């Protein structure tokens, strides 16, 4: 189950972990998602419209402070809605930028550490050589110095470059696949070159021709030579920001992954992270070759809350969006909650029919079930009125069905003593149940005789059936002869 | 599995791993069933439970977080508020509607804003401070009240057993 669920803890790995608190407060405490159509209770707590409506229909209290509250007193929280909208627009971009920054910082730190270690090594070597009595001491100082650096500089390139490619560069561009391409090696080596050079001071530059060709291809060398002294820093920056931009535009996660975790997509043969390959294959199958490179569409202004990003289970084509409901429409369309005991079953059916909601026409569903369905529909409908991007009636109906499917596995709550043992009870009273069924059967037969066959009320039959059902259930066995009778 | 409940559980799970709380470890048993979690609760220090690692299962209902999960210890444990079968009886796991003991205030009951982390923390403090007035395990309550020494000895023995001693 590798669904990427955005979460406030994402910010903990960035340079600004405090953003976690900010995002937490933009999330509903019930569903833990960013607010959808936020509503504020009379005690001042904010929840998603649907979450609070659902909760209030089971208990009329605020989930946070338990103060009594009811649905009609809920108010729109416009400010929070705007906040969530603008936060959602920048979230991904902000996260990617901060992660890239963190990564860069780590890389720099790593490079600095490595450099320091090498410098120490160098010093150590120098000390060792200076202790030994040397004839070279006679040579002019700067010549000697130059040579020394030259000798040491070469291994630095080797050390500095090779591990880098394996650990950091390759996973950063997982799309660039197959044999690690020329292109990427070149740019990366170029970057490392220039970075190391800039820090190693400029001394080497005059004599680079001597060693560079062995290090890299000629073209690299050309590139390299064009980097003048004063250009060096500049270039470095460019490279850095280019890399950052790349990382952002691709939306590549910055966590380093090993090459062994990469799997080739069977359709486009691109290397993908194992955990992401499934989603990627789905996208490929749908013909969307490259995942959209622009992460955020800035079409919505800061004022309009964005629709929440759908989970990437499947890319369901979205039906046409309608504009948010106006206040007048809301007032007119808002459904009242009603009262279960004051509403007749027939009325519930009528209402369900009006809304086009399925129910069992043969009346096999109890009033309780029908009422629960109507309540859930009312909740969904009213929450949809609050939404900035209302769904169609058809979508709502589908969602209601899905919701009920998920709930149906639950057993209906039965009021029962804690220590009550159903099986023992039914076994112990078996004879009494049987006697009752027999008596009912007898009286039904007697009445039948009395009134003639025609008038044998269906009610009696129904009663018999239900009694037989009770007995069968209690005994845990099917007793077909009873039902037939 | 209810999609909504699973999403919320995923998000709680991420929060638990990224933001670890001392003494509490919890996670789904398998990827196929996110509604069943396994958890480990460390015995709180300065109590007879200290040093123990108590394993338990958390079962979430389909309408989570509207309804609370149930917590059941899978190891031997003696505690006034734990039924002999391991089920934990604690106010935060009771929905506001039903009050088996008739005295809990509504504020300490389950509400959708509670979370796995808060439940486990409450269980930890329950271990430290048993409530012998609403005994789920009557024998344990009695022992706790009348023979504290024996109670603590048994608890210590069970605690050692949880870490294989």
Model confidence over A315-336: pLDDT tens digits? 555 556 677 788 778 777 888 8
- Would the pLDDT of B101 be above 80? no
Residues of A in contact with B15 (CB under 8 A): 7-9
The tens digit of pLDDT for each residue in B128-157 reads 888 877 778 888 888 888 988 999 999 999
Average pLDDT along chain A: 68
* A406–B3 C-beta distance less than 8 A: yes
- Would the pLDDT of A185 be above 50? no
Q: How far apart are CA A215 and CA A189, in angstroms?
A: 10
Q: How far apart are CA A178 and CA A181, in angstroms?
A: 7
Continuous segment of H or E residues that includes residue A264: strand A262-264
Asked if the peptide bond before residue A41 counts as cis, ω within 30 degrees of 0, the response is: no
Question: Which of A36, A95, A406, A407 has the most B C-beta neighbours within 10 Å, making it the best mutation to test the interface with B?
Answer: A406
Q: What is the pLDDT of residue A281?
A: 66
Identify the band that residue B21 occupies on the pLDDT scale cut at 50, 70 and 90: confident
Residues of A in contact with B7 (CB under 8 A): 5, 31-33, 311
* Residue among A386, A387, A383 nearest A375 (CA): A383
Q: What is the pLDDT of residue A144?
A: 47
Count of domains observed in chain B: 1
* A32–B113 C-beta distance less than 8 A: no
Q: What is the pLDDT of residue B70?
A: 92
Question: Which of B111, B114, B118, B135 has the most A C-beta neighbours within 10 Å, making it the best mutation to test the interface with A?
Answer: B111
Q: What is the pLDDT of residue A48?
A: 92
Q: What is the pLDDT of residue A365?
A: 79
Residues of B in contact with A54 (CB under 8 A): 66
Q: How far is B9 from chain A (nearest CA, A)?
A: 9
- Would the pLDDT of A454 be above 80? no
Q: How far apart are CA A138 and CA A140, in angstroms?
A: 7
Quick check: helix, strand or coil at residue A168? helix
Mean pLDDT throughout A249-264? Answer: 51
* A9–B7 C-beta distance less than 8 A: no
Handedness of CA A274, A275, A277, A280 (dihedral sign): negative
Q: What is the pLDDT of residue A182?
A: 44
Q: CATH no. for residue B37? A: 3.10.110.10
Question: Domain range for residue B45?
Answer: 2-162
* A7–B11 C-beta distance less than 8 A: yes
Give this prediction's pTM.
0.55
The tens digit of pLDDT for each residue in A37-90 reads 999 999 999 999 999 998 888 888 888 888 888 888 898 898 999 999 999 999
* A8–B2 C-beta distance less than 8 A: no
- E strands present in A70-189: 75-76
* B3–A7 C-beta distance less than 8 A: no
> What are the C-alpha distances in Å from B38 to residues A397, B24, B57, B71?
36, 11, 5, 10
Residues of B in contact with A58 (CB under 8 A): 66, 97
Residues of A in contact with B18 (CB under 8 A): 7, 9, 12
Identify the band that residue A369 occupies on the pLDDT scale cut at 50, 70 and 90: confident
Least confident of A19-23, A303-307, A459-463: A303-307
Percent of chain A surpassing pLDDT 70:
51
Q: What is the pLDDT of residue B107?
A: 59
The residues facing A61 across adjacent strands are A68
Give A53 or A455, the one with higher predicted confidence: A53
Whether residue B29 lies within 8 A of chain A, CB to CB, comes out as no
Q: What is the pLDDT of residue A248?
A: 43
Question: Which of B15, B59, B60, B112 has the most A C-beta neighbours within 10 Å, making it the best mutation to test the interface with A?
Answer: B112
Q: For residue B3, what is the nearest residue in chain A, using CA coordinates?
A: A406
Whether residue B30 lies within 8 A of chain A, CB to CB, comes out as no
Q: CB–CB of B58/B26 below 8 Å?
A: yes
* Residue among A28, A22, A20 nearest A63 (CA): A28
Q: What is the pLDDT of residue A116?
A: 92
* B34–A63 C-beta distance less than 8 A: no
A37 phi, psi to nearest 5 deg: 50, 65
Closest CB from A7, A33, A55 relative to B66: A55
Q: Which two tokens stand for residue B92?
A: 């935060």
Q: For residue B1, what is the nearest residue in chain A, using CA coordinates?
A: A406
Q: Which two tokens stand for residue A129?
A: 């050589």
Closest CB from A64, A65, A410 relative to B62: A410
* B63–A407 C-beta distance less than 8 A: yes
Q: What is the pLDDT of residue B149?
A: 92
Q: What is the pLDDT of residue A125?
A: 85
The tens digit of pLDDT for each residue in A382-435 reads 888 888 888 888 888 888 888 877 765 444 445 556 566 777 888 888 888 889
- Residues of B annotated as catalytic are 89
- Would the pLDDT of A464 be above 90? no
Closest CB from A5, A12, A51 relative to B7: A5
* Residue among B59, B115, B5 nearest A403 (CA): B5
Whether residue B65 lies within 8 A of chain A, CB to CB, comes out as yes
Whether residue B11 lies within 8 A of chain A, CB to CB, comes out as yes
Q: CB–CB of B112/B57 below 8 Å?
A: no
The tens digit of pLDDT for each residue in B34-91 reads 889 999 999 998 899 988 899 999 999 888 888 899 999 999 889 999 998 999 988 8
* A66–B111 C-beta distance less than 8 A: yes
Residues of B in contact with A310 (CB under 8 A): none
Q: What is the pLDDT of residue A264?
A: 66
- Would the pLDDT of A208 be above 60? no
- Would the pLDDT of A468 be above 70? no
Least confident of A56-70, A103-117, A468-482: A468-482
Q: How far is A47 from chain B (nearest CA, A)?
A: 10
Closest CB from A5, A58, A418 relative to B14: A5
Q: Given the structure tokens 């998602």, which residue do they identify?
A: A33
Q: CB–CB of B21/B121 below 8 Å?
A: yes
Of A415-424, B97-106, B117-126, the range with the highest mean pLDDT is B117-126
Residues of A in contact with B3 (CB under 8 A): 311, 402, 406
* B10–A9 C-beta distance less than 8 A: no
Quick check: helix, strand or coil at residue B40? strand
């Amino acid at each position: 189950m590798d669904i990427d669920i955005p979460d406030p803890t994402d910010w903990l790995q960035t340079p600004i972990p405090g953003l976690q608190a900010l995002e937490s407060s933009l999330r509903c405490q019930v569903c833990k998602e960013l607010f959808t159509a936020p509503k504020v209770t009379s005690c001042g707590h904010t929840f998603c419209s649907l979450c609070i409506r659902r909760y209030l229909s089971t208990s009329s209290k605020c989930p946070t402070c338990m103060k009594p509250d009811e649905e009609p007193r809920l108010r729109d929280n416009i400010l929070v809605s705007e906040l969530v909208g603008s936060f959602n627009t920048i979230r991904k971009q902000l996260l990617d930028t901060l992660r890239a920054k963190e990564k860069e910082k780590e890389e720099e730190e790593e490079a600095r550490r490595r450099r320091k270690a090498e410098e120490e090594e160098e010093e150590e070597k120098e000390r060792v050589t200076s202790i030994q009595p040397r004839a070279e001491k006679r040579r002019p100082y700067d010549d000697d110095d130059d040579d020394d650096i030259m000798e040491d500089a070469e291994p630095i390139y080797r050390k500095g470059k090779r591990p880098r490619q394996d650990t950091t560069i390759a996973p950063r561009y997982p799309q660039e696949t197959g044999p690690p391409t020329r292109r990427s090696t070149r740019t990366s080596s170029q970057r490392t070159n220039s970075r190391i050079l800039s820090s190693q001071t400029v001394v080497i530059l005059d004599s680079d021709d001597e060693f560079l060709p062995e290090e890299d291809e000629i073209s690299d060398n050309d590139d390299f030579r064009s980097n003048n002294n004063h250009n060096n820093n500049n270039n470095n920056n460019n490279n850095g920001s280019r890399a950052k931009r790349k990382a952002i535009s691709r939306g590549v996660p910055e966590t380093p992954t090993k090459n062994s975790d990469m799997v080739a997509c069977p359709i486009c043969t691109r290397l993908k992270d194992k955990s992401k390959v499934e989603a990627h294959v789905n996208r490929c199958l749908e013909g969307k070759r490259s995942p959209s490179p622009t992460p955020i569409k800035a079409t919505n202004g800061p004022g309009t809350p964005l629709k929440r990003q759908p989970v990437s289970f499947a890319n369901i084509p979205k039906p046409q969006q309608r504009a948010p409901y106006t206040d007048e429409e809301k007032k007119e369309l808002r459904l009242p909650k009603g009262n279960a005991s004051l509403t007749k079953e027939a009325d519930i059916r009528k209402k369900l029919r009006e809304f086009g909601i399925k129910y069992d026409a043969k009346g096999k569903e109890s009033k309780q079930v029908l009422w629960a369905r109507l309540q859930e529909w009312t909740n969904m409908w009213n929450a949809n009125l609050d939404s900035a991007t209302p769904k169609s009636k058809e979508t709502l109906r589908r969602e209601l069905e899905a919701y009920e499917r998920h709930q149906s596995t639950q057993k209906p709550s039965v009021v029962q003593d804690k220590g009550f043992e159903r099986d023992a009870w039914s076994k112990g009273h078996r004879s009494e149940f049987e006697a009752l069924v027999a008596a009912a059967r007898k009286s039904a037969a007697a009445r039948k005789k009395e009134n003639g066959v025609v008038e044998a009320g269906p009610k009696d039959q129904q009663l018999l059936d239900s009694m037989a059902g009770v007995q069968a259930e209690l005994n845990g066995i099917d007793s077909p002869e009873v039902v037939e009778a | 599995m209810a999609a909504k409940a699973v999403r919320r559980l995923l998000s709680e799970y991420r929060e638990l791993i990224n933001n670890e709380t001392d003494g509490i470890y919890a996670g789904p048993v398998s990827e196929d069933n996110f509604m069943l979690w396994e958890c480990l609760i460390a015995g709180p220090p300065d109590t007879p439970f200290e040093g123990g690692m108590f394993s338990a299962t958390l079962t979430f209902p389909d309408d989570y977080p509207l309804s609370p999960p149930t917590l059941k210890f899978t190891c031997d444990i003696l505690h006034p508020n734990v039924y002999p079968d391991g089920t934990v009886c604690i106010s935060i796991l009771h929905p506001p509607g039903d009050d088996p003991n008739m005295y809990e205030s509504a504020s300490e009951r389950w509400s959708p804003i509670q979370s796995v982390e808060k439940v486990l923390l409450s269980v930890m403090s329950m271990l430290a401070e048993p409530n012998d007035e609403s005994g789920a395990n009557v024998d344990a309550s009695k022992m706790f009240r009348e023979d504290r020494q024996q109670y603590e000895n048994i608890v210590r023995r069970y605690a050692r057993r949880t870490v294989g001693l």
